[in-house]
Homo-oligomer: A and B are copies of this chain.
Amino acid sequence: MKYRHDMGDDERYAGGLDRILELVVLLNDDMTKSLAAQGLSVSRMTLLWTLRSLGPSPQRALAEALRVTPRAITGLVDGLVAGGLVTREPHPADRRATLVTCTERGTALLDETAGQQREFGRQLFAHMPVARFDALVAGLDDVLATLHGLGLVHQPGVTE
């Protein structure tokens, strides 16, 4: 039986959320800066990354994948083309559309970034006791599942 609350549940939750939000701000910032060092932006990298998993795609498909308007894709692709990371090819079946395709430089850059992430993961977690790491991942999975449940997430294929 408690005679006195050291901290109400709401306070505890707030503390947890604060930590998560600090992480969000910090890593978002770091992501932006790291990519800038490679001459990329988060948006362009997202597009490139999506492109690899989709394969050569018309811009319309990319717009849906990134959940932005087709107009935004035009601009992003422009930038990536200028950087030699993707090309615009004619769509073989639909002359209205263009197929955006990753170049070798594009995939090389993608691989390089993946390597950097690996290294970053090591720096973040290598010193942690296994139990703590596993508990962290379990907690994160829980939170992510909750977010999905709250409808905060956009799974491909789910019409809103």
Contact = CB atoms under 8 A, between A and B. Distances in A.
Contacts of A118: 10, 13-14
Contacts of A121: 10, 13-14, 16-17
Contact of A16 (B16, B22, B133): B133
15 contacts: A12-B125, A14-B118, A15-B137, A16-B137, A17-B120, A17-B124, A23-B144, A24-B27, A24-B28, A124-B143, A124-B146, A125-B143, A128-B142, A132-B139, A135-B135
Residue among A14, A123, A126, A143 with most chain B CB within 10 A: A143
A21 interface: yes
Nearest to A10: B118
Interface string A1-35: 00000000110111111011111101110110000
Interface residues of A, number: 47
The count of identical subunits is 2
